[in-house]
Every structure is written in C-alpha cells, then in structure tokens.
C-alpha cells in the first residue's frame, strides 16, 4: 500500500460547485497532516493544516479521521482560481513530509 494515496482526478466542476477530495495514509503513527496546493509548473504551497477536530479556512474545510486513516478537503463555492493540483501531505513521525501525487481540480466558467 502506498504511503499516501489520492485520486488523481481530474475533477471537473463548474464555478460555484462544492467539491471534496479524499486521501488515505498507511502509517498509523503519522503525527501531522496538511493540504498543499500546486499550480501548473509552480512549487507546492501550504494551503492548510488538518486537525482531528476539523478546521475551516474560508471556503476550505479539512477533516481528519485517524481511525480510518483518512483525510478530506472540501471546497465550497469553487472559483476559477481554485484550479490546481491539491497534494495530501503526511508527517509519518519522522522529520520529513510524505506527499501524495495530488488530485487535479479544474473549475470551469
């Protein structure tokens, strides 16, 4: 089983839609979790951390289910500018982060 698994997509949604991405991780000892965003031919940038209690940042909501080793990202009221690849990122308990291959989102007018 891969360390961090994501559906590669692409997810094609119209502006204003709500879209959700999921991610699973294999190491139950993982300590911290993040979503990064990567625009085409650009470097990844931190979108948000993910906490067991769930956290929200504007239109973005992240959830963590430790029992199921599952992380989600919900985007409400999608904007054209949300088009990007969303990377699920896990700290498996040592110093480096493990990145999923990403889920591509395409928001159309």
Partner 1 sequence: GAGVSQSPSNKVTEKGKDVELRCDPISGHTALYWYRQSLGQGLEFLIYFQGNSAPDKSGLPSDRFSAERTGGSVSTLTIQRTQQEDSAVYLCASSPDRYYTFGSGTRLTVV
Figure out which of the listed residues 26, 27, 69, 98 binds partner 1, where binding follows CB under 8 A. Answer: 98
Contact residue for partner 1 among 14, 43, 58, 68 (CB under 8 A): 43
The pair of structure tokens assigned to 57 is 């940042």
**Measured distance CA(96)–CA(5) in Å, rounded:** 17
Nearer to partner 1, 81 or 95 (CB): 95
Please list the helix, strand and coil fractions of the chain in percent, rounded to the nearest 5, in that order: 5, 55, 45
Residue 45 in contact with partner 1, rule: CB under 8 A: yes
User: Phi and psi at residue 80, in whole multiples of 5°?
Assistant: -55, -35
Residue 63 CB partners (closer than 8 Å, separation 6+): 50, 54, 71, 72, 74
Q: Token digits for 11? A: 């997810």
Span from 13-21, 39-47, 60-68, 71-79 in contact with partner 1 (CB under 8 A): 39-47
* Of positions 24, 44, 63, 103, contacts partner 1 by CB under 8 A: 44
Shortest gap between Cβ of 32 and partner 1 (angstroms)? 6
Return residues touching partner 1 (CB under 8 A). 4, 32, 34, 42-46, 87, 91, 95-102
């Amino acid at each position: 089983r891969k360390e961090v698994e994501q559906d590669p997509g692409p997810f094609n949604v119209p502006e204003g839609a709500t879209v959700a991405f999921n991610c699973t991780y294999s190491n139950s000892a993982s300590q911290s979790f993040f979503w990064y965003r990567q625009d085409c031919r650009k470097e990844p940038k931190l979108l948000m951390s993910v906490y067991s209690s769930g956290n929200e940042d504007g239109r973005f909501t992240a959830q963590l289910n430790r029992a199921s080793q599952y992380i989600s990202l919900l985007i409400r009221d999608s904007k054209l500018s949300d088009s990007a690849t969303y990377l699920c990122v896990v700290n498996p308990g040592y110093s480096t982060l493990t990145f999923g291959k990403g889920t591509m989102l395409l928001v159309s007018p």
